[in-house]
Amino acid sequence: MLMLASSADAQTPAETAVESSSANIGETVSRDVHEIYAKGLGFLAQTQNERGTWPAGEGTGPGTTGLAVLAFLASGEDPNFGPHRDVIRKGLRHIIAGQSAVTGYISPSMYHHGFGMLALCEAYGVVDDSDLYSADESEARRSLAEATELAVRAALTAQKNNRRGGWRYAPNASDADTSVSGAVVMGLLAARNAGIEVPDESIDKAIDYFVSMTAEDGTVGYASVSEGGGESVARSSIVNLVLAIARRKDLPAYPSTLRYIVGNRDAQPTWPEYARYYQAQAYFQSDVAVWKQWNDRLVQQLKRDQKSDGSFDGDLGVTNSTSMSLLAIALNYRFLPIYER
């Protein structure tokens, strides 16, 4: 499906993770990327409903909303004066409306909580929320800052109750899986970037969990270590990305997962849009030259796959598939703080 010309198999971990290439805001973004992105945002803008979310089958909810909001923010859309300011604001209001004012949990699952929290964190500091609500309802609603801090608190509480140090679908779950945990911990890392207090102990516990789920060959289990060894592109990309953002490339799990995801770049992963969402970020954080080769091929594939209305089909539902496809090429813009190197 997606190919790179070079292989990391013969490289040492240090060589594989070399950061010799530059990645600066302001570099030229290709016309293909602009066109794909503009059409995709057009589709999302036209299909947002009055509640501020999008129809995406079983995936409808704050997580779906969060991914769509991130797609708008990721390309440098001005959230305060741009043409899609109202789309972004409606989306943020929907995420906050799904949050418990007591616990901070963004229901209906920690998946939704993780992606919703990530959107809140990335919007925090760039969205002027003085006009997030209409004049007659603003006093009764949480500000963006309050909602973000509440979401972080809920994630930390759920982790304290989890014997694995990660997260599962329910906030009171005692078991964990690497997919849900990836969504939540990326939200926490974004919160830390935004200046919100996230204890080092929490990040360290999450890292210990991810490392415990990683085999020597770089494959990562889903809910148990024994599930490693099969196709693991998305999960290995999650672990590789988390270690990079958390500045823990010194751990053996980092080079092993990097070798695996680069060595399996031609694989046909399960849930391809989801896998590419994490692959793009992992490659970008590891070696920009590797990312550029992969990205060029991804752009051409998305150009072929994009429908005339700007959407993308996929098993995740049309909205999630469209948002994640756009976010997979959003590294070309490099506006989201979580996308910085």
* Rg of the Cα atoms in the chain: 19
pTM across the whole model: 0.91
Provide mean pLDDT across the span 34-40.
Answer: 98
Strand partners, 106: 99
pLDDT of res. 135:
78
pLDDT reading at 230 higher than 90: no
pLDDT of res. 17:
39
Picking from 337, 325, 235, 316, the residue whose alpha carbon sits closest to that of residue 282 is 235
257: CB partners within 8 A, 6+ apart: 214, 218, 220, 236, 237, 239, 240, 243, 282
Picking from 332, 271, 270, the residue whose alpha carbon sits closest to that of residue 298 is 332
* Ranges 15-19, 132-136, 236-240: which has the least confidence: 15-19
* Ranges 25-39, 111-125, 278-292: which has the least confidence: 25-39
Provide mean pLDDT across the span 272-300.
Answer: 96
- Angle among Cα 199, 201, 202 to the nearest 5 degrees reads 75
pLDDT digits (tens, 9 = 90+) for 65-120: 999 999 999 998 899 999 999 999 999 999 999 999 999 999 999 999 999 999 99
pLDDT-above-90 percentage for the chain: 79
Q: Which two tokens stand for residue 43?
A: 């589709």
Say how many CA atoms lie within 13 Å of 258 toward its Cβ.
30
* Ranges 208-212, 264-268, 312-316: which has the least confidence: 264-268
